[in-house]
């Protein structure tokens, strides 16, 4: 089943809730797909969307798929916080609680024991950009736009971006992106090392399907440990990285997945040698 087939099935199965649920979830063929579902507001973030997104990520962790895809319905991935969402004033303590919930979303993405692919089209701004950049792999259409407008509207960056962004693009460039808040296109984001692939607008589903097929064939434990090691290695010193790598290698030593992967590699090598 392709990502597009899954999308069509989900639309048919959730016709009633599509107008109500801010986040949709499905799991087919070992692939979990989480969709931000406020297309009338470009999937802008509200407390309800944050709660539902966190719950969807928890459900994905419980379902234990090979890979998870995060995407947006309608014309955008996520346009950031919904500044038109008219709500009563809240106390500083309530605001702290709201922000911690938001941080939990990116924490769950990074801690998920499977790769998370962000499939980005249209706007990925503010919190939406944070959701994307905290994913493991990012595919964006050529028309996609990324940016951090928080400072321009008097808000702070969240989602661990103060750590993730300087690591990805350098401290100087991170300050430029955050302080000026200018939008950058997908090609520029790729050049900066923020995203992995840029595809034509009509090839997003095709590329995501290709990636999910590749990842679904990888040994899961090895993939999960590699993700964890890379994240921890970027956040800690070289000595901690050495320790994590040894620990992971010992965990994988002698597993059935490792034996199967090694046997498959030897078969391919023998077949190539035989063709020479």
Separation between Cα atoms, residue 192 and residue 206, nearest integer Å: 24
Altogether, the residues listed in the chain come to a count of 276
Question: Residue 174: helix, strand or coil by DSSP?
Answer: helix
Whole-number CA gyration radius for the chain: 20
Reply yes or no on whether 130 is catalytic. Answer: yes
Catalytic residue among 93, 130, 206, 270: 130
Residues 225/251, Cβ–Cβ less than 8 Å: yes
Reply yes or no on whether 93 is catalytic. Answer: no
Catalytic residue among 94, 150, 235, 256: 150
Separation between Cα atoms, residue 251 and residue 231, nearest integer Å: 18
Q: What kind and span of H or E run contains 35? A: strand 31-36
Separation between Cα atoms, residue 237 and residue 255, nearest integer Å: 28
**Residue indicated by tokens 């296109």:** 185
Q: What kind and span of H or E run contains 222? A: helix 220-235
| Exposure of 256 in the CB half-sphere (CA atoms within 13 A) | 0
Residues 159/130, Cβ–Cβ less than 8 Å: yes
Nearest to 211 by CA among 85, 118, 128: 118
Separation between Cα atoms, residue 236 and residue 162, nearest integer Å: 15
Nearest to 148 by CA among 126, 122, 124: 126
Residues 77/122, Cβ–Cβ less than 8 Å: yes
Separation between Cα atoms, residue 13 and residue 7, nearest integer Å: 10
* Residues labelled as active-site residues: 130, 150
């Amino acid at each position: 089943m392709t990502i597009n087939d899954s999308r069509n099935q989900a639309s048919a199965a959730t016709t009633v809730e599509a107008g109500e649920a801010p986040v949709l979830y499905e799991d087919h063929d070992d692939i979990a797909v989480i969709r931000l579902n406020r297309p009338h507001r470009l999937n802008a973030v509200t407390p309800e969307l944050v709660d539902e997104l966190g719950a969807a990520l928890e459900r994905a962790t419980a379902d234990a798929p090979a890979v998870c895809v995060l995407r947006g319905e309608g014309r955008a991935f996520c346009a950031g916080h919904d500044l038109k969402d008219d709500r009563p004033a809240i106390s500083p303590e309530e605001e702290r609680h709201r922000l911690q919930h938001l941080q939990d979303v990116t924490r769950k993405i990074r801690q998920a024991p499977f790769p998370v692919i962000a499939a980005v089209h249209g706007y990925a701004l503010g919190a939406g950009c944070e959701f994307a950049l905290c994913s493991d792999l990012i595919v964006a259409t050529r028309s996609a736009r990324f940016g951090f407008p928080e400072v321009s509207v008097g808000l702070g960056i969240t989602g661990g971006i103060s750590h993730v962004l300087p690591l990805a693009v350098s401290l100087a460039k991170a300050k430029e992106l955050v302080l000026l808040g200018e939008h950058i296109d997908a090609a520029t984001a790729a050049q900066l090392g923020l995203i992995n692939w840029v595809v034509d607008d009509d090839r997003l589903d095709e590329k995501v399907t290709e990636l999910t097929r590749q990842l679904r064939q990888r040994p899961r434990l090895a993939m999960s440990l590699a993700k964890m090691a890379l994240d921890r290695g970027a956040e800690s010193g070289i000595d901690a990285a050495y320790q994590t790598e040894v620990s992971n290698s010992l965990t994988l030593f002698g597993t059935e997945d490792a034996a199967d992967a090694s046997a498959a590699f030897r078969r391919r090598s023998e077949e190539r040698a035989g063709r020479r």
